[in-house]
Amino acid sequence: MLENAIKDLLYKIADDQLILGHRNSEWTGFGPMLEEDIAFSSMAQDKLGHSLAFYTLLHQMGEGDPDTVAFMRNADQFHNSQLVELPIGEYDFSLIRHFLYDNAEILRFESLSQSTNEEIAKIATKLKGEVRYHVLHANTLVKQLGSATQESISRLQQSLEYALPFALGIFEPSKHEQELIDAGIYSGEAALQNQWLERISAVLEKTHLKLPEIANLQPVYGGRYGQHTEHLQPLLDEMAEVFKIDPTAEW
């Protein structure tokens, strides 16, 4: 059933964006510089807006309304990659995650903008401009901090090594992979991952950072099938704390 395959794809995109947007918003008031508070907040708002666009499309396809879907599900009903649910940690981790994630996201949106599904193509085309800014922000800072001081280089290197296996989880294949590729919905996870590796390598080459040998890494899979770290449920509980006081109320 192509429709189920498409829904699965849309859920993973929307859930990624919602959870990462939520995480990025946690930097408001805590950034290393006011400029970064503001940048992370802008990206958080964009990501939230993107998730809303995809939840809205899902709603048109018969799924629940966006607020209910976002605020009322439990962790095992979420299809986001585990990368995005990890706590913000120190700024180096948040920056590296943002770098790894957005470089993947831009490729996904580019691929989706060519989709045979017109609705999806329309949304992806509209939103990819914003993702391009996110990529620009990440790449600029990774280049700067990845070549600045010993301290900044070693922090970024450590975070890179920690985050990479999780980042590979972005590309965890779904059980509908071939069906989506055959129908021309998007190019599929394996193709995206290859392009992504080229992109991030090209940036990292301009720094003092070293990309670990990907073949030696064990990707952290499971997120796309509802398996999550212990960090997701508390995030969702927090997100829904007020909403659940009265889910039928207008807030």
Chain residues in the site for another protein (CB under 8 A): 22, 25-26, 28-38, 41-42, 44-45, 48-49, 52, 66-67, 70-71, 90-91, 144-145, 147-149, 151-152, 155, 208, 210, 235, 238-243, 245-246, 248-251
- Tell me which residue of 111, 20, 10 sits closest to 59, measured CA to CA: 10
Classify the C-alpha dihedral 34-40-43-49 as positive or negative. Answer: negative
> Closest separation between CB of residue 20 and another protein, Å?
13
| Triad 198, 201, 204: Cα angle to 5° | 155
Residue at 53: amino acid letter: A
Q: How far is the CB of 71 from another protein (least distance, A)?
A: 7
Residue 179 beta carbon to another protein: minimum distance, rounded to whole angstroms: 30
Comparison of 8 and 26: residue with beta carbon closer to another protein: 26
Q: Which is nearer to another protein, 25 or 229 (CB)?
A: 25
Cα 29 from chain centroid? 22
Determine the distance from the C-alpha atom of residue 55 to the mean position of all C-alpha atoms in its chain, rounded to a whole number: 15
Task: Name the minimum Å distance from CB 250 to another protein.
Answer: 6
Compare residues 190 and 242 and give the one whose CB is closer to another protein: 242
Gap between the Cα atoms of 156 and 19, Å rounded: 22
The minimum distance between CB 243 and another protein, in angstroms, equals 4
Give residue for tokens 């940036």. 203
**CA distance linking residue 150 with residue 208, whole number of Å:** 9
Using CA atoms, how far residue 15 sits from 163, 178, 182, in Å, is 19, 22, 24
Between CA 250 and CA 213 the distance in angstroms is 51
Compare residues 35 and 118 and give the one whose CB is closer to another protein.
35
Instruction: Give 86 or 185: the residue with its C-beta nearer to another protein.
Output: 86
Q: How far is the CB of 92 from another protein (least distance, A)?
A: 8
Nearer to another protein, 113 or 233 (CB): 233
User: Which amino acid is located at 49 in the chain?
Assistant: G
Q: Please, what is the end-to-end C-alpha distance for the chain in angstroms?
A: 37
Q: What is the nearest approach in angstroms of another protein to the Cβ of residue 170?
A: 23
Contact indicator for 44, 18 with CB cutoff of 8 Å:
no
Q: Give the residue with the Cβ less far from another protein, 217 or 242.
A: 242
